[in-house]
Amino acid sequence: MDLNKKILAIYGSPRQNGNTSTLMDKFLEGIENSSFNNYTVNKVFASKVNVSPCRECRVCSKTGECVVKDEMQDIFKLFIEADFIAIASPIFFTTVSGYLKAIIDRCQRFWSLKYEHRKNIFTKEKNGIFISCAGSGAKDIFECSKKVIRSLFDVVYANYYLDFLYNNIDFKGDILKNKNAMNEIYNFGKSKKFENLLKGVSMNKKLSFIFFVALIIISIIFIGCSNAKAENPDNDLTYKNNFTLENIDDEEISLSDFKGKLIVLNFWATWCPPCKAEIPDFVETYNEYKEKGVEFVGVSMDSKSDLRQFIQAYDINYTLLIDGGQVSKQWGIRAVPATFILGRNGEVLFKNIGLMEKSKLVSEIEKRL
C-alpha cells in the first residue's frame, strides 16, 4: 500500500495570488503545519497548463481514451492517483472559470469510462472540497458551480465532502480581510479530521474486499456464538433496509433507531426546487404526526455547511442525514425528491417520485397509522 498520500490541488483562477488561490494556499499551509507529513501536493494551475477544450469527437465513448495529446494526459493521471482533491475557482458568469471548465470537460473521458464502459479505473476512493469566491452577495451565486464540481467529482469517484464559499469578495486581496474565512480553511487543513480523511478512504479495492470478507466472517462467528438480542440497532437484523449516516453534528444515526415507528423517508437536495417546495409541508406534517408515532428522516445530497444554513432558514424540525451518494445509490434514487413511507420494521410501504402534495402525504400516513 502506498502510504504517501497525494493531494491534487487545482487552481482555477487566472489571477495570480487572487482570492481563491490565496484560500487554496492557506489550506495547503494548514496541512503543512499539521502533524501529518507523509503527503505530496500536485498543483495544477488551470490557466498555465496547455489543455484544450473537449472537441466532442466521442472517441472516448468507444475507447475510454482521450485522443487529444496535450497536458491533460498528465492531469488524468493526477486525478487517478489522488487521495484528495481540492478545487478552487472564482465565479465567472455564475459558473467556474473557463480554464477550469476546459479541464472538467476533458474529464468526459472519465464519464465515458464510468457510464458507457462501466469500468472503474480508479483504485482509490477519495474526498474532495470546492473553494470559491464571488463578487456578488447573491445567496444562490454558487449553486451552478457547485453542480459542475459535483458532477466532476462523481466521474472521478470523489465524494463532495465540503465547500468553502465566500461572496462579496471581488477585488484582489479582498479575501485577506475576511479573517474568518482564512482561519476556517487553514484550520481545516491542519485538522485531525482532514488527516483522517486523507488516510482513511484511500484503501485500494483489494484491501477493502479483504476487510469486507473479514467483517462478514467475524459477524457470522459473532451471531453464531451469541443468543442475546443485539443492543446496537445497526446489528438488528430484523430491521429491513437499514442504513447509518451522519447528521450535521457528525452524529451517526441509523434508520433502525426509529424501529417501531412509521418513517417518512425523503431523499432531497437544497439545489432542487421541488425538494425545497415540499419542506414546509414536511415540517407541518411532522408537527401534526410526531406524537402519533411518525418520524420524518430527510437524506440530503448536500454538504454539511449548505445544510446548516438551510435548516435554519426553513426551520426544519426533523432528522436530517447527509449522504455522500452511497445510500441513495443503494436505494436506486435517480431523481430527487423521492419519498418513501417505511413500516415499523423498515419495510417499504409506499414510494413517490417527484413533488409530494401534502394532502397525499397525509392520506398515505393516515392509512398506515
Question: Which parts of this chain interact with ligand FMN (CB under 6 A)?
Answer: 13, 15, 18-21, 90-94, 133-136, 141, 169-170, 172
| Nearest distance from C-beta of residue 98 to ligand FMN, angstroms | 8
Answer yes or no: are the C-beta atoms of 13 and 32 closer than 8 Å. no
Region for 299 from its dihedrals, namely left if φ exceeds 0, alpha if ψ lies in -120 to 50, beta otherwise: beta
Q: Give the nearer residue to ligand FMN in terms of CB position, either 168 or 219.
A: 168
| Nearest distance from C-beta of residue 29 to ligand FMN, angstroms | 17
| Nearest distance from C-beta of residue 170 to ligand FMN, angstroms | 4
| Nearest distance from C-beta of residue 289 to ligand FMN, angstroms | 42
Catalytic choice (54, 60, 107, 275): 275
Taking the C-alpha atoms of residue 192 and residue 197, their distance in angstroms, rounded to an integer, is 8
Q: Provide the pairing of β-strand 262-268 with 252-254.
A: unpaired
User: One-letter amino acid identity for 148?
Assistant: V
Taking the C-alpha atoms of residue 333 and residue 331, their distance in angstroms, rounded to an integer, is 6
H-helix segments, the chain = 19-32, 59-63, 72-81, 98-106, 108-111, 143-155, 174-177, 179-190, 192-200, 205-225, 273-289, 304-314, 326-330, 358-368
Q: Give the nearer residue to ligand FMN in terms of CB position, either 158 or 165.
A: 165
- Annotate 271-302 with three-state secondary structure: CCHHHHHHHHHHHHHHHHHHHHCEEEEEEECC
| Nearest distance from C-beta of residue 16 to ligand FMN, angstroms | 9
Answer yes or no: are the C-beta atoms of 39 and 7 closer than 8 Å. yes
Is 54 noted as a catalytic residue in this protein? no
Helix/strand/coil for 326:
helix
Q: Return the DSSP state at 343.
A: -
Q: Give the nearer residue to ligand FMN in terms of CB position, either 33 or 136.
A: 136
Q: Give the nearer residue to ligand FMN in terms of CB position, either 184 or 281.
A: 184
Q: Which residue is nearest to ligand FMN (CB)?
A: 18
Q: Give the nearer residue to ligand FMN in terms of CB position, either 144 or 353.
A: 144
User: One-letter amino acid identity for 178?
Assistant: N
Taking the C-alpha atoms of residue 103 and residue 110, their distance in angstroms, rounded to an integer, is 12
| Nearest distance from C-beta of residue 86 to ligand FMN, angstroms | 14
Q: Give the nearer residue to ligand FMN in terms of CB position, either 93 or 232.
A: 93
Buried/exposed 352-369: b ≥16 CB within 10 Å, e otherwise: beeebeeeebeebbeeee
Cα torsion for 352, 353, 357, 360, to the nearest 10°? -20
The C-alpha cell of 332 is what?
Answer: 436506486
| Nearest distance from C-beta of residue 271 to ligand FMN, angstroms | 17
Q: Give the nearer residue to ligand FMN in terms of CB position, either 172 or 276.
A: 172
Catalytic residues: 275
